[in-house]
Amino acid sequence: MAPPRILRPAHRSKLASGPGIAAPDDGHALLEADQRFQAALDQAIAKGRERIEAVEATVQLKRHTKLSL
């Protein structure tokens, strides 16, 4: 592994005063990504509820069928 470079004070100040890591538009992109994630999560939760209801209905039907025999 190469040893870390030691920067002279002039170079360090240029790096420190440079632009930030995140651009101003990143906040908007993050908000849109979060909204897409929330929508996908809501869909997954809804599908999960539908599956639970289907399983419960199947169990009730099986119990009813066993009682009828």
Give the model confidence (pLDDT) of 15-66 as tens digits: 555 555 556 677 888 899 999 999 999 999 999 999 999 999 999 999 888 7
Tokens of 10: 């002039």
Higher pLDDT, 29 or 10: 29
Residue with structure tokens 């993050």?
30
Give the model confidence (pLDDT) of 59-68 as tens digits: 999 988 877 7
CA–CA distance, 56 with 62 (Å, rounded to integer): 10
CA–CA distance, 66 with 64 (Å, rounded to integer): 5
Contacts of 59 (CB under 8 A, 6+ apart): none
